[in-house]
Structure 1
Amino acid sequence: MTPLVEVAAAVMLRADGREFLLAQRPAGKVYAGYWEFPGGKVEAGESVRAALVRELQEELGITVTACAPWLTRQFTYPHATVRLHFWRVTAWEGEIGITAPLEHAAVEWQECSAAASVAPILPANDPILKALRLPTMMAITLAEIEGIERQLERLQAALGKGPKPGLGLIQLRDKGLPPAQRLSFAEAVVRLAHDAGALVVINDDAELARRVGADGLHLSSAALTACIVRPDFAWVGASCHDAGEIAKAGELGLDYALLGPVLPTPSHPENPGLGWHEFTQRITGNTLPVFALGGLRHDLLATAQAAGAHGIALMRGW
């Protein structure tokens, strides 16, 4: 049995969130020439955050000033099994050595929304590269309450601001609409979203998702419980209530989860919600991106990400 090595991995993001950094392993190391996220082994008695800060100081000559946990993945190589603790790093002091990296053969900035332009990349990082393509703001439709026409007007206005860093992912819910209305609404949503470069997932209706050319499927918590194999879509997510459901979503290889409500909502103001501390506790060690849901606004995105969320899902606030 190969030893388990704890590793801190840095997802270095530019201020606008559009690019991330990859580093090339130098000659003389295992997998020399392969590209990876900067970072390194967590030493005995050291926290993941402390290891991250130390490694980036040693490797890139920078001092981290803002970072937060994101995903945890385990991968077995021939020489070792690694548990990779991926942290987003969003602010630092000092200049990254682009022309003369300190401990790497090279470093390159890559676009989050596109396939990596460098190769080969360590295989443990494939799910992370896909997760970086996932927008950080999801809109959940409420056509049953607001009406279809008003929803489409609001959606067009929101998408007009650009899918990144604004709205980039739409979950079409509205399961109570008559089938014909839900179909025409879904077709209109997909047209608007795709024209703006945004993704659409359909809640609990694989047939409708395929019919309208949606990008994926969103499972309710009940559908997640019944699911035994990942549905065959490019993007699949699920609504979750606890760490166990998030873990199952990860085991199925889903692309994201929703967890909430975090704060009181207009529909249930008497429910205080999980709060940010409990939200963080429930997603600790998650293997897939988790959106915070419930009572949120655009200006709480940074707060959610500091608590470990990938992004936020908005029902009324988008």
Structure 2
Amino acid sequence: MTTAKRIRKAVFPVAGFGTRVLPATKSIPKEMLTVVDKPVIQYVVDEAREAGIEHFIFVTGRNKAVIEDYFDAQYELYSTLAERGKTALLDELQSIQPGPGTTSFTRQQVPMGLGHAVWCARDIVGDEPFALLLPDMIMQPEKNGCLADMVELYNQAGGGNIVAVQECDPEEAHKYGIVGKGKDVGNGFELTEMVEKPAKGTAPSNLYINGRYILQPEIFDILEHQERGAGNEIQLTDGMLKLAKQQDFFGYHFQGRTYDTGSKEGFVEANVAFALWRNDIRNGVIDNIGNMLKTIQPRKV
């Protein structure tokens, strides 16, 4: 079996406007909206760190400087916490801060789609495979983190490209990017096809792409010359379809729950779900939700 290059770098496309959750994102990046007590982007970075990622690459846009500030050291805050004896909180904050030289930020000056955002990271990624994590999507795994298991599959397969998928209602398959499933490989399977929003009744499966990828650097050359597709944007799926003609693609079937925090419903669901995951606040949340379900009725407009 071929020894694959190690996955050291991860790309986080954070340049989007967050239009689905306006007006909250008018002045606050959607990635900095909090789920319980952490911004959305922290959950995704934690998942990448768990998978062994060493270099975190953020593709940003205008009004996203707060993300860079968030991952920087805040000496005044640290000093105040130390003086007040809040050592547990100080240790927690310092533990999630990336080390010096492990974060990079680059701009996507024009919103031209996910494929273009990925291409903007080309010089920082260089000639090596990389992980791609869509920060809208945060996950509650049944066991290991999604990306950690994808890296395991990548090593089992000796390289290639990995796409994480999970099941959706077959009646909803036309809303997603759907994959076809081939023979099993390690803890995943070969991909036989990828279809973006297939017409109703034509989907090859009900396995949808959930926002986690491991890609080879050849994707950058493809994206550089990629014509605009749906929405007049450079689509990552179009680029992956071309790459699939040259390289192997594998699917990893994620076991767990995924929440789309870029939608209002998904954001609320994520807050409830992650609150219920917390032993320190779970019981109080359950009681409060029960009381609200009994007493709060839909508002009459």
Check whether TM > 0.5: no
- The structure with higher relative contact order (CA 8 Å, sep 6+) is 2
Q: Normalized per residue, which structure has more helix?
A: 2
Q: TM-score, normalised by structure 2?
A: 0.28
Q: TM-score, normalised by structure 1?
A: 0.27
